[in-house]
Amino acid sequence: MAEPTRQGMFDAALAVRKEVLGAEYVDRAFAIDDEFTVDVQEFLTLHAWGPSWARRDAQGEFTLPKKTRSFLNLVMLMALNRPHELELHVRGAIRNGVTKVEMKELFLHAAVYCGAPALIDAVRVARKVWGEHEGKGP
């Protein structure tokens, strides 16, 4: 298999990013055209979404399922106490098939290592997003 070009890697990463986060969100992020945003969005797409989310094996299959990557992101963002990014990735996790029960169990398991304040914040964010997702309001 030939090595992908930089543009090919970017396009693959952008496609996965849009699948996980939603095209509207990603398009809005790229639409902000100032001295910070364009370069930051390109960096994130190429360096975060390409080598991780869009990573494939020699047969072209994803090396980890998107649901597994969502599990990892939810726990890491909980541990790092990054509620804005956690909210975004809770939405992505729902798109990737993570159930409410699985999410709760992830947070409870991670609480042993991350602490109760991280658990409380993560559950607060998850409840908000699930409420919106289920049509129960923010």
Q: What percent of the chain has pLDDT over 90?
A: 78
Q: What's the pLDDT tens digit per position in 36-88?
A: 898 999 999 999 998 889 888 889 898 999 999 999 999 999 999 999 999 99
Shared domain check, 23 and 49 = yes
DSSP-based three-state secondary structure for 56:
strand
List C-alpha distances in Å: 85 to 4, 8, 39. Answer: 29, 26, 19
Domain containing residue 129: 66-133
Based on the domain organization, do 81 and 47 belong to the same domain? no
Q: Domain of 119: which CATH number?
A: 1.20.1290.10
17 or 5: which leads in pLDDT: 17
Could you tell me the pTM of the whole model?
0.87
Residue 138 lies in a domain: no
- Closest Cα partner for 78 from 104, 54, 53? 104
Angle between helices 6-21 and 66-80 (to 10 degrees): 80
Does 125 lie in the same domain as 93?
yes
Report pLDDT for 44: 93
Place 1 in a pLDDT band, splitting at 50, 70 and 90: low
